[in-house]
């Protein structure tokens, strides 16, 4: 059975663990560098991106995480996880809503804008068609969510809001969404990632 870790420093860890298990993989929590070594894939959950980076430094995970991503480990990031996978983050006034983030794990050739859809009170849901997810559109939950401001040539936009903001991207073994599929009971995004992990194993 495939083993997929969920970075368990902060955020909605348990929800991702349950969704991954329902999608047919062995889900484990990750807090230490040694726990990264034998993973087939990794999920970066929603939460607070600046806090996750700070805790990754404290737990000596920052560089090991970057190395695993650069080495081709399949990784899925939701909400804050998308920010953590982005190569570039908009930290200007337009991204107001928290302290700036000084680094990411990187890997996705995108620029994201933090808190782009507004604050907690601006949370909303919308049906989003995601390339690679069969059937009806995914009901997407946006909570202090980022959007993709710019998609570089190495990445591909696979889902956008009704008003044209890119909220799902894919690049090789990396997948990211601005929204939280783990909160709705719809397992199709996690199933897509599980298939990506299986494909990477050949």
Catalytic residue among 16, 79, 165, 190: 79
**How many angstroms separate the CA atoms of 20 and 26, rounded?**
7
Active site residue 125: no
180 is catalytic: yes
Catalytic residue among 15, 16, 182, 190: 182
Establish whether 21 is a catalytic residue.
no
**Measuring CA to CA, which residue among 120, 20, 133 is closest to residue 8?**
20
Could you say which DSSP state residue 181 is in?
G
Q: Per the residue annotation, which of 15, 16, 165, 180 is the catalytic one? A: 180
Return all residues near 49 (Cβ < 8 A) that are at least 6 apart.
80, 83, 84, 101, 104, 114
Using CA atoms, how far apart are residues 41 and 191, in angstroms rounded to an integer? 13
Buried-state track 27-45, b at ≥16 Cβ within 10 A, e below 16: bbebeebebbeebbbbbbb
Helix-helix angle 49-58:62-70, to 10 degrees: 110
**What torsion do the CA atoms of 9, 75, 138, 177 make, to the nearest 10 degrees?**
70
Q: Which residues pair with 194 in a beta bridge?
A: none
User: Which residues does the annotation mark as catalytic?
Assistant: 79, 180, 182
């Amino acid at each position: 059975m495939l083993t997929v870790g969920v970075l368990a420093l902060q955020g909605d860890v348990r929800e991702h663990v349950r969704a991954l298990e329902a999608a047919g993989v062995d889900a484990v929590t990750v807090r230490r560098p040694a726990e990264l070594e034998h993973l087939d894939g990794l999920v970066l959950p929603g939460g607070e991106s600046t806090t996750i980076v700070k805790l990754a430094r404290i737990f000596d995970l920052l560089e090991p995480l970057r190395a695993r991503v650069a080495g081709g480990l399949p990784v899925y990031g939701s909400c804050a996880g998308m920010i953590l996978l982005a190569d570039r983050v908009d930290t200007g006034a337009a991204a107001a809503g928290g302290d700036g983030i000084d680094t990411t794990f990187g890997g996705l050739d995108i620029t994201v804008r933090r808190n782009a859809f507004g604050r907690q009170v601006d949370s909303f849901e919308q049906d989003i068609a995601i390339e690679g997810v069969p059937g009806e559109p995914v009901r997407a939950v946006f909570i202090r969510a980022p959007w993709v401001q710019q998609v570089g040539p190495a990445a591909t936009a696979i889902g956008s809001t009704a008003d044209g903001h890119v909220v799902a991207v894919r690049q090789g073994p990396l997948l990211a969404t601005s929204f939280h599929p783990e909160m709705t009971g719809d397992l199709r995004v996690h199933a897509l990632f599980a298939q990506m992990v299986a494909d990477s194993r050949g």
